[in-house]
Every structure is written in C-alpha cells, then in structure tokens.
Amino acid sequence: MKILEQLFEDYTVDTDILQQDLHDKIIEGLVYWADLDFHDLELDIEAANNDRINKTPVMQNILTDLNKLVLEDSLTGLYNRRYFNRALESEMIRNNREFHPLSLAILDVDHFKLINDTYGHDAGDEVLKALAMIMHKNVRQSDALMRIGGEEFAVIMPNVRYQVAVDVMERLRNDIENMVVPFNGDELSTSVSIGITVREPNKFVSVDELYQQADQALYQAKETGRNKVVLHGTPNATGLSVSEREGLMS
C-alpha cells in the first residue's frame, strides 16, 4: 500500500517527478497490487487533476493501465470482482430510476478442481480463457461479464426478464458443454452450473440479497446434478425444460 500511496503523493506534488520515477515504482509494486484491498482508496485523480493529466500523455497511459489492473481479470480479460460490485450497485440504482427489470446470473465450472489435478493449472487456465470467449459470444454488449472467483463468473443483464435470461443462459450452458479445449495433445471439456435471479422494478431487493438469490440458485443447480440452469424461487426448475419455462411465463 505504501508504494501506491507514494505514487499519488508524488503526482500531486510534482508531475515531472512522477514521469521520471513512476515507471520504476510501478514495476516494483505491480506484483503486489492484485492482492490489495482498494476499498478505502477512492481517489479520483482524473477528476481532481484533469488539466494536468490532459497535458501528460504518459500519465494518461499509466492511469489506463492502473484502471485495468484494478478492474480487470488478467487471465480472462473479463472484469473482476471489484468491478462486479460497482456495476451491480450501479445497475440497481438505474433499475430503480428507469423501472426496468435486472437479471443476474452466477456461473460455476463443474468439477474444475479435477481438471487442475489431472492436467495441471495451465490446463485450467486454458479452460477459463475458453469459457470467457464463449461467454462474450452469447451475451449482448450492454451486459457485463465478470470473473468473480477462481472458477466463478457473473453476468449482469440490464432490462432482461427471467424468461429471456433463462434462454440466454441455457444457450450458454449448452455451448460450454459442447466446448473442446485443446491442451498438449488432449481435448478438455467441462460444464457449468448456473443460478439466475431477477429483480423486478416493483420489488425491493438489496444488492446483497440479489447476489444471495443468484448464489442460492447456483447452489441448487450444483446439488441437483450440475450442468443445468436454475432460476431462483422455482424449486422444481432444475434444467428448465420448455414446458417448465412456459409454465413460469403463464
């Protein structure tokens, strides 16, 4: 934390010092930043020093890199847990203001430890990267994709009701089930369990409650056989066949 605090102190004192010294400090400190808790470090340098930053291309590049370090997952290129927390809270506020539904899906890779134990962690990394690519292909640009844990992912889908969210996640689940990941002459495959919840505009649910609902649905998917989509609040909706979805929509 001292390295990061010194970076900001240097910048507010002397831009020239920052340009000369910041690069070396970043190289020294980057390896530790992934484990830092930035919760108490809410310094909006870009707003506070907008004129100076606009005149400093080097600083602009550094801030872009710092933003990626803080908010992106380096392995998959998806957003990380910190971004997820911010994005979900922001979408909840917009949900209240615009009176639109908000869907949240939590995905977990089935038996991921077995992949790591059998083929090694490099193989597990390749599977996670392949999953991220498939997720990108199955959601809208307006949806937010995050890796929020080791083998756990989240999708925030603004203005999406449960029937659409279920269909999208079922398609994603199917694509992942049929995915083949080449690795050192082997072909790796996996599946995911998915929990979904929807915040309707006429129902008050907090950020924590919404996440807990999706997590509970994910747990149900795991407990009832894995490789399925479960919608929160529908105890018999394991797998969600077409007839079951039609029943929910009626």
Give the gyration radius of the chain's Cα atoms. 21
Catalytic residue among 91, 126, 151, 170: 151
Let me know if 72 is a catalytic residue: no
The HSE-up count of residue 88 (CA atoms within 13 Å, CB side) is 29
Q: What is the DSSP string of 64-111?
A: HHHHHHHHB-TTTSSB-HHHHHHHHHHHHHHHHHHT--EEEEEEEETT
Please give the Cα distance from 109 to 189 (Å, whole number): 11
With contact defined as beta carbons under 8 Å apart, do 194 and 119 qualify?
A: no
H or E element, residue 224:
none
User: Could you give the residue numbers annotated as active site?
Assistant: 151
